[in-house]
């Protein structure tokens, strides 16, 4: 980091702000150790604007302009995944802001009316590649097909859902295109000054947020966390263009072969799609008390979630876990029962419309994000709710 | 089988707390650990070596203090550790990091590369697939089981959203692994003794035949423009009274928000 | 207290501590509740090399002695002595081979035990031969190149789980104590089966059960030492292993003290942490005194044994009695300090209190130990 020692007040705000423990004070001035990864937390923290990130390097600018906002049209069982609809909503906003087209690049086999459907959900153009070899997702042919389309049409922005598929494909493609990629964004916007994509994402287990830009290389690539944005709504009257892309044997080469898929039955909880979630944490005290959480969820037509602590106690399987290392959810109603609200948990449910927190401790952090706080014995309150519903 | 496992030394994020008064990270006493998913990568490397022979090399890029993470890897029983350490690597994003690691892995030689699915500090999950692309080998992410290994291929299960996908990849290949794959071992006595004295090979940019444009700050297309502690904020209200009264108040509120339908139950 | 451990001993202690805290602690309540043998944990321990801590390097071990063995038992017992005893039970079954096995027997069995691939057990106790271990009813009758074993053993640690059993049987009843011999019997030998698994008060992760021999033919080369040396093998084995039980007791006491201290620091009553109350402080101090004194005794005896000291029987018994009585008292006091919380299964001290009791009973009750101590005292000549 670059230090303007004349401006530095020696307040040590940078020392405290550094998540990597890389700043120490020597002779009243900060010194940056090798542990510094140039994250810029100290730049933000410095009240005297005495710290600057070293100048932006970055590979050379490509000559011709890049235009268009693209979304990777991930599909499952012949349908676009939910996150594609969420990306269409975000992409639409970005497209309006920048006056660009919104495109979806869609690869697969016999996709039928899906291109028209994506147009109804907000796409202006659908770039379509159909081939039997693309029926099941594999990183290599998908990378090749997308790379070819990008070289031809030169989009400015390329967005993926941060699903297992998106997070496998996007980095390979980014490396092939020698461009930047930001993982698991929770907010995407346009920088009014530069017109660059502002990609905001949690890091450090959700403890800090970072906004990232890719100022030079194109396309600007990001994966977006499912469940943090509302999906686009369908408008059957919308029109758009379907562009068929060529493919060939060289693009379809693959050194991997998919042998089959085994469903996990116990994992059928669909937290992401639920409109009501009742979650339990360690404050419930024991596995038996989870039956109250189940009962309340059933009465409200919702599903059951859990904090990491409750999953670690073995009260519920991992599939129910909400939070940084579990699912991110944004239901209309989220009821947190006996969950203190570690930042990792909050990261997974803050987007909910109404949050109800039930906890014995009035100082629990969960109340900071709650719409309604209920302080008292969790079991008693749950029983009262069940009784009165 | 020659196996390279990539690891990252990270702060134990589960120990990180935020001081809500100053909105800063409380770092005091936060230990540095080997990224937990990378321990699964090392463990799988050791298990494969036990079955098929060969060697396990662990590689990491970072400042000199990463040596302690590599010594811990030695105490688990890996054959060799390599530290990529050079001021020229500072400021690397995932693209520059993967380029640097790929160059070193090429130098070491490999049949299989193992990475954790992601690091718990950055959570990007990008470096693995990007290394595979730089090296032009296939990659498979989210591996939860290794089923079969032959001279030419490896058959694995991937843990995806709704289930497990069985896939075969030709070797050499790169896998990123999830916790389900195995249970990492503890340091062994003999390996720990060795770890105290074994040299840690350290490579800088010079020996790796790297294009300066591809590494460090220069080779990093992404720039962090702002870091901030997320605001927790929602103007909420505490409901008052006994559990029964609080419950009644909540149900009334949910009813007016049209989340709960129907009239109050007769009590 | 500084016990002047070598760097190697410190490393052993450190690895055992990590094993106990990171791997055993999360499982111990469930293992206790379900009375489940910790097979998976022993596999984890095997990869740390510690299964062979007391076995010579030439047989694949780490070349340590009883002292190093005690360090491991103590550290695991500090968290869960049921798991510790599943490990130590193998030691008890292996020590006779270490002491009296011939080269072939050592080569055949010790490397697999050292690598943690095989679990061991020691078959001595019978329904009518408890403290009176000479009253053996199991017989081994020579038949050509075989011995035919008949009889039933009970309360055997690792019964059914172990692969290798050192079994005591009468080969010549007419010779009395000199007519008893020891044999190595492998699991799977025809005629060798297992009785019921006991439902115990404590050390519930450890499996305790019966061995049933019904015309079980054991090859002659499995005879350990010579015919008739059985009770010498048993006596010398217990002299060696007794500090192991004492180390288990020290671990339990230390674990209970750890828990009580932590609780007393955080539990607030009458507006202050209970550790500020002198009544609690004196109890904690007494617990520390007993624990540390027990440890000092155990370490001294273990070192004495490892240096080949003669006549360790008395000292081993002293350490075993003192440490096990300390474990009982300290764990009971830990429950007392923690009050209602200590009595609940949410905290580990009630389990430690149940676990502690066995250390006063097995490998010779504390009454038998006192007999041994007294008989040694009687033998001693007046000094002045």
Q: For the segment B154-183, what is each residue's pLDDT rounded down to a tens digit?
A: 999 999 987 899 999 999 999 999 988 999
3-state secondary structure at position C123: strand
Compute φ and ψ for B27, nearest 5 degrees.
Answer: -100, -15
Residue matched to tokens 């097979």: C39
Show the CA angle centred on residue A88, arms to residues A86 and A94, nearest 5°: 110
C58 touches chain B (CB under 8 A): no
Average pLDDT (B143-150) is 95
Residue matched to tokens 């519920």: A316
Query: Domains in chain A, start-ordered, CATH in brackets?
Result: 2-52 (3.30.70.20), 69-251 (3.40.50.620), 276-388 (3.40.50.1220)
* Residues near A119 by beta carbon (within 8 Å), at least 6 away in sequence: A126, A238, A239, A240, A242
Look up residue C72 and give its two tokens: 């491991």
A259 touches chain B (CB under 8 A): yes
Compute φ and ψ for A4, nearest 5 degrees.
Answer: -95, 95
Q: What is the pLDDT of residue A205?
A: 67
Instruction: Please name the residues between 59 and 118 in chain C that touch chain B, using a CB distance below 8 Å.
Output: 62
Average pLDDT (B61-85) is 96
* Predicted confidence band of residue B261 (pLDDT cuts 50, 70, 90): low
Q: Which of C125, C142, C137, C152 is nearest to C221 (CA)?
A: C142
DSSP class of residue C186 equals E
Q: For the segment C76-114, what is each residue's pLDDT rounded down to a tens digit?
A: 999 999 999 999 999 999 999 999 999 999 999 999 999
Q: For the segment A203-256, what is each residue's pLDDT rounded down to a tens digit?
A: 776 677 899 999 999 999 999 988 778 889 999 999 999 999 989 899 999 999
Distance from CA of C78 to the nearest CA of B (A): 18
CB atoms within 10 A of CB C197: 15
- Chain A: partners with 3+ C-beta pairs within 8 Å: B
- Chain C: partners with 3+ C-beta pairs within 8 Å: B
Show the CA angle centred on residue C78, arms to residues A282 and C348, nearest 5°: 35
Residue A3, H or E segment = strand A2-3
Residues found in chain A? 389
Q: Which of A61, A128, A122, A125 is nearest to A94 (CA)?
A: A122
Q: What's the CA gap between B201 and B67, in Å, rounded?
A: 10
Among candidate residues C68, C350, C363, C383, the one labeled active-site is C363
Residue C376: pLDDT over 70: yes
Residue A380: pLDDT over 60: yes
- Asked whether the beta carbons of C204 and C187 are under 8 A apart, the reply is no
Look up residue A185 and give its two tokens: 């964004």
Is-cis flag, bond preceding B172, omega within 30? yes
Nearest CB to C12: which of B183, B185, B189? Answer: B189
Q: What is the pLDDT of residue A56?
A: 45
Q: Which of B16, B33, B50 is nearest to B182 (CA)?
A: B50
3-state secondary structure at position B156: strand
The phi-psi region of residue C193 (left if phi > 0; otherwise alpha if psi is between -120 and 50; otherwise beta) is beta
Residues of A in contact with B62 (CB under 8 A): 35
Decide which of A38 and C246 is more confident: C246
Beta strands in C158-241 (DSSP E): 164-170, 180-186, 192-197, 208-219, 223-224
Q: What is the pLDDT of residue B266?
A: 37
- Asked whether the beta carbons of A24 and A31 are under 8 A apart, the reply is yes
Alpha helices of A80-154 — where are they, by DSSP H?
Answer: 82-98, 114-120, 139-153
Residue B19, Cβ density class (10 Å: 0-12 exposed, 13-18 middle, ≥19 buried):
exposed
Residue A41: pLDDT over 90: no
Look up residue A225 and give its two tokens: 């966390």
- Asked whether the beta carbons of A143 and A165 are under 8 A apart, the reply is no
Probe site for chain A from B168, B204, B230, B261 (most A CB atoms < 10 A): B230
Q: What is the pLDDT of residue B267?
A: 37
Residues of B in contact with A178 (CB under 8 A): 95, 221
Residue matched to tokens 């010790």: C110
Residue C44: pLDDT over 70: yes
Residues of B in contact with A264 (CB under 8 A): 162-164
Report DSSP letters for B18-63, one per residue.
EETTTTEEE-TT--EEE-HHHHHHHHHHHHHHHHH--EEEEEEES-
| Strand pairing class (A125-130; A102-108) | parallel
Pick the range with the lowest mean pLDDT from A286-300, C14-28, C160-174.
Answer: A286-300
* Residues near C94 by beta carbon (within 8 Å), at least 6 away in sequence: C54, C55, C109, C110, C113, C120, C164, C166
Average pLDDT (B21-45) is 84
Q: What's the CA gap between B131 and C22, in Å, rounded?
A: 33
CB atoms within 10 A of CB B31: 8
Question: What residue spans in chain B does CATH classification 3.40.50.620 cover?
Answer: 2-214
- Asked if the Cβ–Cβ distance from C47 to B192 is below 8 Å, we say no
Distance from CA of B106 to the nearest CA of A (A): 17
Average pLDDT (A3-25) is 84
Residue C317: pLDDT over 60: yes
Alpha-carbon dihedral C336, C342, C343, C349, rounded to 10 degrees: -100
Q: What's the CA gap between A181 and C99, in Å, rounded?
A: 65
Alpha-carbon dihedral A363, A369, A372, A375, rounded to 10 degrees: -20
CB atoms within 10 A of CB B151: 8
Distance from CA of B266 to the nearest CA of C (A): 39
Classify the C-alpha dihedral A191-A192-A196-A197 as positive or negative: positive
Q: What's the CA gap between A97 and C185, in Å, rounded?
A: 82
Average pLDDT (A362-383) is 91
Compute φ and ψ for B180, nearest 5 degrees.
Answer: -55, -20
Look up residue B30 and give its two tokens: 């936060």
CA distances to A30, A161, A173, B202 from A72, in Å? 44, 8, 12, 40
Residue C72: pLDDT over 80: yes
Q: Which residues pair with B9 in a beta bridge?
A: B34
- Rounded to 10°, the helix C313-343/C366-379 angle is 150
- What is the pLDDT of chain A when averaged over all its residues? 89
Q: Which residues pair with B58 in a beta bridge?
A: B5, B81
Q: What's the CA gap between C95 and C100, in Å, rounded?
A: 8
Q: Which long-range contacts (CB under 8 A, 24 or more apart) does C278-284 make?
A: C280/C337, C283/C333, C283/C336, C283/C337, C284/C257, C284/C260, C284/C337
Q: What's the CA gap between A214 and A53, in Å, rounded?
A: 15
Residue of chain C minimizing CA distance to B46: C47
Q: What's the CA gap between C355 and C119, in Å, rounded?
A: 22
Pick the range with the lowest mean pLDDT from A187-196, A260-269, A315-324.
Answer: A260-269
In chain B, the largest separation of any two C-alpha atoms, in whole Å, equals 80
Percentage above 90 pLDDT, chain A? 54
Show the CA angle centred on residue B169, arms to residues A138 and B101, nearest 5°: 90
B190 touches chain C (CB under 8 A): yes
Q: Structure pTM?
A: 0.83
- Asked whether the beta carbons of B187 and B128 are under 8 A apart, the reply is no
Show the CA angle centred on residue C132, arms to residues C157 and C96, nearest 5°: 50
Q: How many CA atoms lie within 13 A of A186 on its CB side?
A: 20
Compute φ and ψ for C84, nearest 5 degrees.
Answer: -60, -40
Q: Which residues pair with A108 in a beta bridge?
A: A130
C296 touches chain B (CB under 8 A): no
Q: Which residues pair with B112 in a beta bridge?
A: B3, B173
DSSP class of residue C19 equals I
In chain A, the largest separation of any two C-alpha atoms, in whole Å, equals 69
| Strand pairing class (A220-224; A181-185) | parallel
C26 touches chain B (CB under 8 A): no
When mean pLDDT is compared over A26-35, A244-253, A314-323, C79-88, the highest value belongs to C79-88
Q: What is the pLDDT of residue A58?
A: 41
Look up residue C309 and give its two tokens: 């000291």
Domain B2-214, CATH among 3.30.1330.10, 3.40.50.620, 3.40.50.410, 3.90.1150.10:
3.40.50.620
Look up residue A72 and give its two tokens: 């990777």
- C363 in active site: yes
- Asked if the Cβ–Cβ distance from C8 to B188 is below 8 Å, we say no
Compute φ and ψ for A200, nearest 5 degrees.
Answer: -110, 130
Task: Provide the CA A57 distance to its chain's centre, in angstroms.
Answer: 27
């Amino acid at each position: 980091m670059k230090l303007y020692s004349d401006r530095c007040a020696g307040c040590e705000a940078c020392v405290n702000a550094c998540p990597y423990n890389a700043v120490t004070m020597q002779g009243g001035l900060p010194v940056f150790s090798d542990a510094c990864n140039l994250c810029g937390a100290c730049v933000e923290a410095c009240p005297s604007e005495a710290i600057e990130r070293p100048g932006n390097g970055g590979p050379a600018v490509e000559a011709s302009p890049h235009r268009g906002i693209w979304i990777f049209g991930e599909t499952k069982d012949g349908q676009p995944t939910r996150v594609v609809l969420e990306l269409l909503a975000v992409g639409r906003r970005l497209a309006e802001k920048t006056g660009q087209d919104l495109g979806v690049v869609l690869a697969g086999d016999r996709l039928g009316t899906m291109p028209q459907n994506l147009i109804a959900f907000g796409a202006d153009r659908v770039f379509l590649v159909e081939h039997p070899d693309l029926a099941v997702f594999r990183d290599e042919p998908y990378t090749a097909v997308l790379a070819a389309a990008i070289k031809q049409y030169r989009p400015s922005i390329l967005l993926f859902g941060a699903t297992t598929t998106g997070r496998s494909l996007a980095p390979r493609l980014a490396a092939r295109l020698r461009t930047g990629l930001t993982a698991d964004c929770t907010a995407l916007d346009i920088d009014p000054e530069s017109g660059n994509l502002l990609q905001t994402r949690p890091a450090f287990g959700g403890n800090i947020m970072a906004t990232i830009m890719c100022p030079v290389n194109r396309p600007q690539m990001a994966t977006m966390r499912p469940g943090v944005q509302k999906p686009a709504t369908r408008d059957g009257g919308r029109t758009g263009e379907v562009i068929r892309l060529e493919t060939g044997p060289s693009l379809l080469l693959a050194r991997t072969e998919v042998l089959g898929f085994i469903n996990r039955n116990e994992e059928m909880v669909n937290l992401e799609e639920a409109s009501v979630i009742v979650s339990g944490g360690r404050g419930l005290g024991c596995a038996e008390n989870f039956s109250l959480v189940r009962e309340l969820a059933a009465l409200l037509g919702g599903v059951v979630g859990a904090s990491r602590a409750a999953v670690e106690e073995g009260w519920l399987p991992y599939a129910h876990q909400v939070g940084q290392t579990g699912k991110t959810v944004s239901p209309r109603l989220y009821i947190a029962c006996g969950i203190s609200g570690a930042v990792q948990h909050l990261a997974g449910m803050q987007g909910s419309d109404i949050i109800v927190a039930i906890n014995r401790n009035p100082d629990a952090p969960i109340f900071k994000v709650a719409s309604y706080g209920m302080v008292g014995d969790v079991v008693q309150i749950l029983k009262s709710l069940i009784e009165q519903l | 089988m020659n196996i390279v496992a990539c690891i990252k030394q990270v702060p134990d994020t589960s120990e990180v707390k935020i001081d809500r008064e100053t909105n800063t990270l409380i770092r005091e006493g936060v230990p540095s650990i080997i990224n937990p998913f990378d321990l699964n990568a090392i463990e799988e490397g050791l298990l494969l070596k036990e079955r098929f022979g060969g060697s396990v090399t662990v590689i990491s890029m970072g400042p000199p203090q990463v040596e302690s993470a590599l010594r811990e890897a030695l105490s688990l029983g890996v054959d060799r550790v390599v530290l990529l350490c050079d001021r020229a690597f500072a400021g690397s994003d995932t693209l520059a990091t993967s380029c640097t690691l790929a160059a070193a892995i090429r130098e070491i030689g490999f049949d299989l590369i193992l990475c954790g699915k992601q690091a718990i500090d950055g959570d990007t999950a990008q470096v693995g697939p990007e290394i595979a692309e730089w090296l032009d080998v296939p990659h498979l992410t989210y591996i939860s089981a290794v089923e079969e290994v032959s001279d030419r291929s490896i058959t694995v299960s991937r843990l995806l959203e709704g289930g497990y996908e069985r896939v075969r990849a030709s070797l050499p290949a790169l896998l990123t692994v999830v916790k389900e794959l195995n249970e990492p071992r503890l340091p062994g006595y003999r390996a720990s003794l060795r770890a105290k004295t074994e040299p840690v090979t350290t490579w800088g940019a010079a020996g790796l035949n790297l294009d300066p444009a591809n590494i460090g700050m220069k080779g990093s297309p992404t720039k962090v423009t702002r870091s901030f502690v997320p605001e927790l904020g929602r103007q909420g209200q505490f409901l008052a009274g006994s559990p029964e009264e609080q419950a009644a108040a909540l149900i009334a509120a949910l009813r007016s928000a049209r989340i709960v339908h129907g009239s109050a139950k007769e009590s | 207290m500084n016990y002047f451990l070598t760097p190697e001993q410190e490393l052993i202690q450190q690895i055992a501590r990590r094993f106990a805290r990171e791997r055993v602690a999360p499982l111990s309540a469930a293992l206790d509740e379900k009375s489940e043998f910790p097979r998976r944990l022993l596999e984890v321990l095997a990869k740390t090399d510690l299964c062979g801590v007391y076995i010579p390097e030439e047989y694949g071990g780490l070349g340590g002695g009883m002292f190093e063995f005690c360090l491991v038992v103590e550290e695991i017992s500090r968290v869960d002595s049921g798991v510790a005893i599943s490990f130590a039970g193998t030691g008890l079954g292996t020590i006779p081979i270490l002491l009296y096995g011939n080269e072939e027997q050592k080569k055949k069995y010790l490397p697999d035990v050292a690598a943690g691939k095989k679990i061991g057990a020691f078959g001595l106790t019978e329904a009518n031969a408890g403290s009176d271990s000479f009253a053996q009813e199991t017989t081994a009758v020579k038949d050509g190149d075989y011995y035919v074993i008949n009889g039933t053993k009970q309360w055997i640690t690792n019964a059914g789980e172990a692969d290798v059993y050192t079994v005591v049987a009468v080969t010549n009843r007419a010779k009395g104590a000199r007519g008893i011999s020891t044999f190595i019997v492998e699991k799977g030998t025809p005629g060798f089966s297992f009785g019921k698994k006991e439902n115990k008060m404590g050390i519930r992760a450890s499996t305790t059960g019966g061995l049933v021999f019904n015309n079980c033919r054991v090859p002659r080369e499995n005879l350990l030492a010579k015919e008739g040396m059985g009770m010498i093998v048993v006596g010398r084995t217990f002299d060696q292993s007794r500090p192991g039980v004492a180390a288990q007791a020290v671990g339990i006491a230390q674990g209970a003290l750890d828990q009580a201290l932590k609780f007393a620091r955080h539990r607030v009553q009458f507006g202050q942490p209970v550790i500020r109350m002198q009544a609690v402080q004196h109890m904690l101090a007494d617990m520390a005194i007993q624990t540390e004194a027990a440890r000092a005794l155990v370490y001294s005896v273990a070192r004495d044994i490892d240096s080949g000291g003669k006549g360790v029987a008395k000292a081993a018994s002293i350490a075993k009695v003192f440490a096990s009585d300390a474990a009982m008292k300290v764990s009971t006091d830990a429950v007392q300090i923690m009050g209602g919380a200590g009595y609940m299964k949410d905290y580990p001290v009630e389990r430690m209190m149940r676990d502690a009791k066995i250390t006063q009973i097995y490998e010779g009750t504390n009454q038998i130990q006192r007999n041994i101590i007294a008989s040694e005292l009687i033998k001693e000549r007046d000094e002045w």
